[in-house]
Homo-oligomer: A and B are copies of this chain.
């Protein structure tokens, strides 16, 4: 069943059916009613491929997710669901595309095949081949995260540096003198992962400014590493009384190690950082932390992308979010 069939049954031309559907040309009330009756009766809906070909747009976005090797963190997953939700409000579909590893074919299919109207790129690196590729292909895109000098790019990010600065100030206010930042994995940092680099910068700067001893440790994105990392800190730096973390995936291991150590939080040790709300609340005790607003970021990313698609030559826009630090139960005065 196609538009011709509808036209025939409604006794009008195909163009009239098309215009009745799109509203791009006035159609007499009587005709419109007749057309709509036939459409409802037959449950007709335009073929998406034909429409995309004729219109030159697919009404589809691509969400490029990080390489599957790295498991998605809770924040990232919430983000995926939220992007789908936000896109749905624009009647846009979302193509989930893997990248990295042996997924170049998938990414190229999206980019060159004109498969989508725009792309949202998660977890970009400071130097990112995919960004260059999208620019070259002149495909509208928005990144989650931003590079050092963003230039004319469109992005949404959380201000990791500012948030970590706040966390360290908070710990300094509580009298802590020896603090550690639990960062992301070595490889990620080496690859130039912005949030980790900026968190480190903010951490070290405020530590110095407030006269604290601050150390940064990289930790692989998995519970086991979190546990090992904690044990190493206890062994090598027993003077440390507070942890700042941006590593969500390691949290369960941290919890386990904490449990085994018999340490009480926050009496013996304070913990804070940038953590998804759900994870912070599920920790025992609930973590004082900056909640990454994944839903808001998703919403903003889709809004920006829709705007950029509508006007590819518009001046670039971005949003740098600075969520509040929620005081829960994991930070307290330095033990003496």
Contacts and interface: CB of A to CB of B under 8 A. Distances in A.
Interface of A: 43-50, 52-53, 58, 60, 63, 65, 68, 71-72, 77, 80-81, 84-85, 88, 91, 93-98, 103, 105-106, 108-110, 112-115, 223, 252-253, 255-256, 259, 278, 281-282, 284
Contact of A109 (B63, B93, B113, B115): B93
A43 B284 CA distance: 54
Contacts of A112: 43-45
Contact of A72 (B43, B81, B98, B114): B81
Given A95-B93, A282-B256, A106 B88 contact: yes
B53 A47 contact: yes
Contacts of A94: 95-96
Contacts of A53: 47, 49-50, 53
A92 to B, nearest CB: 9
A60 B77 CA distance: 22
A328 B304 CA distance: 48
A95 B95 CA distance: 4
Contacts of A65: 81, 84
A98 B113 contact: no
Given A77-B77, A93-B97, A46 B113 contact: yes
A72 B68 contact: no
Contacts of A97: 84, 93
B115 A88 contact: no
A88 B109 CA distance: 11
Given A88-B98, A88-B106, A95-B60, A48 B284 contact: no
Contact of A48 (B63, B72, B77, B113): B113
Contacts of A109: 45, 48, 91, 93
Contacts of A81: 65, 68, 72
Contacts of A71: 278
B282 A113 contact: no
Given A49-B58, A53-B53, 8 more contacts: A43-B112, A47-B114, A48-B109, A48-B114, A49-B50, A49-B52, A88-B98, A94-B96
Nearest to A47: B114
A105 B84 contact: no
Contacts of A96: 63, 80, 84, 94-96
